Chain A
Amino acid sequence: MNTPLQATLPTPDFPSPLAEFWRGFARNRGASAALAFMLLLALAALFAPWIAPYSPIEQYRDALLTPPAWAEGGSWRFILGSDELGRDILSRLLHGARISLWIGVVSVLCSMIPGVVLGLLAAFYPTRLGILIMRLMDIMMALPSLLLAVAIVAVLGPGLGNTMIALAIVSLPSYVRLTRASAMTELTRDYVVASRLAGAGTLRLMFNTVLPNCMAPIIVQATLGFSSAILDAAALGFLGLGAQPPLPEWGTMLAAARDYLESAWWVVTMPGLTIVLTVLALNLMGDGLRDALDPRLKQND
């Protein structure tokens, strides 16, 4: 009789995989810089209440639409300027980082975990259940992710929580397809057959034998999914369907800034620049991860 399964995550035992991975990743300068940026952003988000100069919703009525410090008429009181209600933009961006990163983490986890499970199921039971799952995914893929998210939010109503639900649902198919495809390849390998013959149960085969070998593309997808979640959440916020004011979500901030295109460029520029930098960093990291984890997918450079 085997000893019972230990309730820990499977830790595949490669020859120092982490060091090998890190060497590959660190060689990519763009990806390293992106990682540094993301770490900085995560720290800023974590400590936002302590490092932000002001509260994100405090309105300084004597200083509406103050330009940033370096611009004409700006002051160091509001480094990145203030918005139409006299709120400090830097403080709002820092607190907004919490919201955006939180949306990213929650929606990625909430679509990756069920997505991986469904993908494994589809690979292990390809005849009926697999076909059913894949057909469902085809239906979800018929709409572009942002439109499906818009439809879901239209039903559930706008808001931060519903945004996360919608984004989790729309990115589900990519994880299912990816996991299924890599699991199908792994299933034909000898080690899986050997494990099956040795008496491993289906659950053990799924999560302990096959899954660890499918993780590389899933991790890459999660990074890229993180960036599209932030982008789509901002788009929903901009359309008035995502996080609602006065929450300092980056897209929501841009929606309010639309009326100040002529008078206050900084109100429009700052939140957008933050989104671009964050999404760009995540995409660079995704590329770097892909090259380091799975050299087969490496693009020609």
Chain B
Amino acid sequence: MIQFLLKRLGVVIPTFLGITVLAFALIHVIPGDPVLVMLGERNIDPTYYREAMHRLGLDLPLWQQYLHYLGNLLQGDLGTSIKTNIPVLQEFLALFPATLELSLAAMGFALVFGLAAGIVAAVKRGTVVDHTVMGAALTGYSMPIFWWGLILIMVVSVHLGLTPVSGRIDIEYDIAPITGLMLIDTLISGEPGAFVSALEHLILPAIVLGTIPLAVIARMTRSAMLEVLREDYIRTARAKGLSRSRVILKHALRNALMPVVTVIGLQVGTMLAGAVLTETIFSWPGIGKWLIDAIGARDYPVVQGGILLIASMIILVNLLVDLLYGVINPRIRHAR
């Protein structure tokens, strides 16, 4: 197991270093002078300019600048936002729970409905139900989620008036961010109505963000189930006199879940990319919206730090999934 871990780390560390080079390069290939961009001025005093160059370390050779950057990075210093003057890491940590809550809700939605749809389609294989479910899944997979979000807002929020249009909670509530997860914080606060308000705000964004993972999980579950349902032990279980639903839910599903688990791990990246769009549509105050706003405001330290943090997170999650998979399935651990 330790050998497996070391082997995976041998891949992960160079990848991480590569990402740091990418993020470092981001600032240095911006068209125009980084100092002018960062100071946001055109006609500045040459002495002040030289001073700024020196202060930002931009007068050093590139490789020294990179080592400097890497050194700061390892100490948790990702630079400071130009717009707010708050350290990038601090901003990220403050906003991340919102994205986490949204992603967890979306994944929960995708799992419940994706598994159900996949199982039903597999069991009813070749029928109208199967074709409908798979057609819907392919449509969901082809959906531009920003449009899907707009349509849902238009129908559910505007015309039916069922859910709020944007934000995480009605402004009348002032909830102290204890965990950062609004659903939990509102429960702790004990304020009447706050939890329901938070839930109402969460539903549509979670559906929008969960749609593509739902489609992927449904397709994956269906084909994994079909594979498993063909096995001899399923026939044995049925011959033993077990009920159909018991065989499907207990015997078949357990083995069909393996590939599905992998897919869930792979969906983390999709979720974070989707969060950028979903949060923009619903004005959800998470890291996706933060990143897009920073690009709009040319707040390069935030763009640089945000991209780096998101990439690191994805690398970390993939590493965890790999390790988990190695624990569950010894054949992978010992391969090659």
- Check if B291 sits within 8 Å of A150, measured CB to CB: yes
Q: Which residues from chain B contact A254 at a C-beta distance below 8 Å?
A: 144, 146-147, 150
How far does the alpha carbon of A110 sit from the alpha carbon of B237 in the complex, in Å?
A: 53
How far does the alpha carbon of A72 sit from the alpha carbon of B34 in the complex, in Å?
A: 54
How far does the alpha carbon of A18 sit from the alpha carbon of B255 in the complex, in Å?
A: 40
Q: Which of B250-308 contact A (CB under 8 A)?
A: 269-270, 272-273, 276-277, 280-281, 291-292, 295-296, 303, 307
Q: How many of chain B's residues touch chain A, expressed as a range?
A: 35 or more
Q: How many of chain A's residues touch chain B, expressed as a range?
A: 35 or more
- Check if A135 sits within 8 Å of B18, measured CB to CB: yes
If A262-B158, A299-B223 touch, does A144 touch B273 (CB 8 Å cutoff)?
A: yes
Q: With an 8 A cutoff between CB atoms, is A143 at the interface?
A: yes
Residue from A143, A147, A276, A299 in contact with B142 in the complex, judged by beta carbons closer than 8 Å: A276
Q: Which residues from chain A contact B30 at a C-beta distance below 8 Å?
A: 155
Q: With an 8 A cutoff between CB atoms, is A193 at the interface?
A: no
How far does the alpha carbon of A240 sit from the alpha carbon of B262 in the complex, in Å?
A: 34
Minimum CB distance partner of A240 in chain B: B296
Q: Which residues from chain B contact A269 at a C-beta distance below 8 Å?
A: 151
- Check if B144 sits within 8 Å of A300, measured CB to CB: no
State the main secondary structure of chain A at its contact with B. helix
Contact code string B310-333 (vs A, CB < 8 Å = 1, else 0): 110011000000000000000000
- Check if B31 sits within 8 Å of A157, measured CB to CB: yes
Residue from A136, A142, A251, A300 in contact with B314 in the complex, judged by beta carbons closer than 8 Å: A142
- Check if B144 sits within 8 Å of A276, measured CB to CB: yes
If A139-B22, A142-B315, A145-B273 touch, does A150 touch B295 (CB 8 Å cutoff)?
A: yes
Q: With an 8 A cutoff between CB atoms, is A204 at the interface?
A: no
Contact code string A259-287 (vs B, CB < 8 Å = 1, else 0): 00110010011011001100110011000
- Check if B142 sits within 8 Å of A235, measured CB to CB: no
- Check if A144 sits within 8 Å of B142, measured CB to CB: no
Q: Which residues from chain A contact B11 at a C-beta distance below 8 Å?
A: 138
Residue from B15, B26, B147, B273 in contact with A142 in the complex, judged by beta carbons closer than 8 Å: B15
Residue among B146, B158, B272, B276 with the most chain A CB within 10 A?
Answer: B146
- Check if B19 sits within 8 Å of A142, measured CB to CB: yes
How far does the alpha carbon of A279 sit from the alpha carbon of B141 in the complex, in Å?
A: 9
Q: With an 8 A cutoff between CB atoms, is B154 at the interface?
A: yes
How far does the alpha carbon of A265 sit from the alpha carbon of B154 in the complex, in Å?
A: 8
How far does the alpha carbon of A227 sit from the alpha carbon of B212 in the complex, in Å?
A: 15
- Check if A239 sits within 8 Å of B22, measured CB to CB: no
